[in-house]
Amino acid sequence: MLGSVILFRKDSFNNIVTITFSSLIVCEILNVFSEVYKVNYKMIISSILTFVIYFMSIALLRSYFDVSYITWVFCCKVIGITLAGWAPLHFFKRIYECVDPSEH
């Protein structure tokens, strides 16, 4: 959150909340899929339901989300924050697995 406040200080607080909340949802789903060894249908359904609930929360909680701000620039900012939070840990984990593979 602090990084997004520093990076996007020209945006309003509602826009920063929208960016960071969206990044949090996407990052947590990526973390789940990064940690599992075998994906099953329940995980896919729960991820789809997560996105449905997320979009419903944007539609229902308009005082917290500025819907007019959701554009391609918004998507690029969400992708940037998500990659900054998820990619380093994911890549370090993959390197660790290559160096020291698990026994199972």
* 7 C-beta neighbours (distance < 10 Å), count: 15
| pTM as predicted | 0.78
Question: Domain residue spans in the chain?
Answer: 2-99
pLDDT tens digit at each of 104 positions of the chain: 566 666 666 777 777 778 888 889 999 999 999 888 889 999 999 999 999 999 898 888 888 777 888 889 888 888 988 998 899 988 998 899 899 887 76
* Residue indicated by tokens 């020209």: 10
